[in-house]
Amino acid sequence: MTHPPVYIQHIVANALLFRISGAVLFLIATASFIFNLGLASGIASVIFGLMAAGSLIVVLQPFQYLRIKVVAVLYFSILLLEIFI
């Protein structure tokens, strides 16, 4: 059995710190959705986004299709599209 990567070991060792930072980032994203879209639309957008992310995790995680490099490339390419379009 292989050992997990170093970044996974770091996350497991500092689980509370990463949970708190994840919660803070989630609250910031939720507040920005509510500020930009209004109360009902912002909350609905957050719920739809969580449902979409959760379904992708459930479907893709068992097959190990996406590696961290692929996810990073996809994220930055979509970010560049958002900025320049």
Tell me: pLDDT of 1 over 70.
Answer: no
Tell me: pLDDT of 40 over 70.
Answer: yes
Q: What is the mean pLDDT of residues 24-30?
A: 95
Average pLDDT, the chain: 87
Report d(CA 47, CA 41) in Å as an integer: 10
Q: What is the mean pLDDT of residues 32-60?
A: 90
- At 78, the pLDDT band (50, 70, 90 cuts) reads confident
